[in-house]
Amino acid sequence: MLIPHPLLGLRDSSEFTYLGDAALLDRPDGMAEGAAARFHDYVHLRDNPAGIHRELWFHEQGDRSWLVVTRNTVTHEILGAELAREARLKGGAA
C-alpha cells in the first residue's frame, strides 16, 4: 500500500506503524461525569467497519508525523491522507 503523505508524497506503508481508528484522537475528558465508563469505551471498543475507515498511521521511518489515512478495509484502497494535527484542528476525527 502507498500512502499519499501530504508533505512527502507517496510513501510505502511499511515505513509507518499503525495505531488504529482515528477516533482515538477524541480523548474523553477525564474530569467529566462518567469518565471511567467513557475511557473504557475509548480504550477498548471499536467500530471496526468493513469499508471506509479513518485511521492513525505514524511515519516512524520518515518524518515522524502522525497521519489520518482514509482507507477501505475491504479493498485496501487508500482514499486520502492528512496530517493528524490538521485533522484535529478541523474538529475531531469522526
Q: Which is nearer to other proteins, 46 or 90 (CB)?
A: 46
75 near other proteins, judged by CB under 8 A: yes
Any residues with CB less than 8 A from the CB of 80 and at least 6 apart, and which?
A: 4, 69, 70
8 near other proteins, judged by CB under 8 A: no
Report CA Rg, the chain.
14
Task: Compute the distance between CA of residue 93 and CA of residue 71 in angstroms, rounded to an integer.
Answer: 14
Q: Which is nearer to other proteins, 47 or 89 (CB)?
A: 47
Q: Which is nearer to other proteins, 50 or 89 (CB)?
A: 50
> Which residue type, as a one-letter code, is found at position 47?
D
**Contact positions toward other proteins, by CB under 8 A?**
1, 12-14, 17-21, 37, 40-41, 43-50, 53, 55, 71, 73-76
